[in-house]
Amino acid sequence: MKNFSELLDTDFHIDIAIQVRPKHAASAVKIVINDQIIIDQVIQQVILLEYSVPLLAPIKVLVFHDNAYVESLKFDGWESRPEYGTEGPGLWSFETHKPFYPWHHHATGLGWLLTPN
């Protein structure tokens, strides 16, 4: 039997799933997550992309678009749309400015997470 400190079952990444729908027949879409271009193309149907980021990294999602709509943005299965994110002309964005889970607990009013020393 392993000691607690020997268990390697901790996931050190956050899974991101984003779904974007074109409003018309086709739409140019560029999705950037933490300065990495995930997709940059014209879409003609709903797309669902999955990506992961390090657990302790702040998250920044930018969706540059020409008549498209971000239908869903999930972090480890938690749906952040439509409450979180900002829509502007040709750009939808979401940013935590700190690691995701401390941001999530503060933004949703779940309280504070303890930080180990």
Under DSSP, the state recorded for 67 is: S
Per-residue pLDDT, 109: 82
Per-residue pLDDT, 117: 56
Please count the residues of the chain. 117
35 lies in which domain range? 10-107
Using omega within 30 degrees of 0 as the cis cutoff, is the peptide bond preceding 54 cis? no
For residue 22, being part of any structural domain is answered with yes
**Closest Cα partner for 24 from 53, 72, 62, 67?**
67
The alpha carbon dihedral of 71, 73, 78, 81 has a sign of negative
For residue 26, being part of any structural domain is answered with yes
Domain count of the chain? 1
For residue 1, being part of any structural domain is answered with no
Per-residue pLDDT, 36: 97
Give the mean pLDDT of 94-112: 86
Per-residue pLDDT, 4: 54
CATH label of the domain that carries residue 54: 2.60.60
Distance CA 26, CA 68 (A): 9
